[in-house]
Amino acid sequence: MSATLRLATAEDVSAIFALIQALSEYEKLAHEMVGAEADLHRGLFGTPSYAESVVAEVNGQVVGFALYFYNFSTFLMKPGIYLEDLFVLPEYRRQGIATDLLKYLASRALSQGCGRLEWSVLDWNESAITFYQRIGAVLMDEWTGCRVTGAALENLAS
């Protein structure tokens, strides 16, 4: 079964939001999902917009998505694409949809003059790690992610 890939429209926000909820449950992070559907709409389609999404449809149903944004590499002196989330409903996995979504983003990166496509993966998600390595991704064990949020962000800003 093949999926149709396309850039998301404002009409897809509810479906993408539902997929993000499913992703948060899969990653055991549902307690961290505090944003609302309106926030997602604003982030994808507001002025300014902060991210873009591509959706995968099967028989008119959105069954997967990739949400990404552009960053900039000071070493390459080129933009890049950072894949924030990639998710395919469990019943549609192992059909090439995730690979197709990544190929779409790789093609988009090249057409936009980007020097790289990058993302993070949870260290316990062995199936995702294996999949990513199979498509040519290199795990960057020498880097540690950092995040400042909530009260720590407010304290840092003051």
Counting runs of H as helices and runs of E as strands, what totals does the chain give? 5, 5
Closest listed residue to residue 16, CA positions, set 83, 76, 65, 78: 65
Q: How many CB atoms lie within 10 A of CB 117?
A: 18
Residue 1 pLDDT: 66
pLDDT per residue rounded down to tens, the chain (158 residues) = 689 999 999 999 999 999 999 999 999 999 999 999 999 999 999 999 999 999 999 999 999 999 999 999 999 999 999 999 999 999 999 999 999 999 999 999 999 999 999 999 999 999 999 999 999 999 998 998 899 999 999 999 99
| CATH fold for domain 4-157 | Aminopeptidase (3.40.630)
Question: Could you tell me the residue ranges of all domains in the chain?
Answer: 4-157
Helices 13-26 and 37-45: crossing angle, nearest 10°? Answer: 120
Q: Which two tokens stand for residue 31?
A: 């307690």
Of the candidates 24, 77, 106, the one whose C-alpha atom is nearest the C-alpha of residue 98 is: 106
Residue 63 has a pLDDT of 98
Q: Give the active site residue among 26, 50, 68, 132.
A: 132
Check if 132 is active-site: yes
Q: What is the largest CA-CA distance in the chain?
A: 53
**pLDDT for position 80:** 97
Q: Which residue has the tokens 């192992």?
A: 94
Confirm if 14 and 37 have CB atoms less than 8 A apart.
Answer: yes
Q: What local confidence, expressed as pLDDT, does residue 2 receive? A: 84
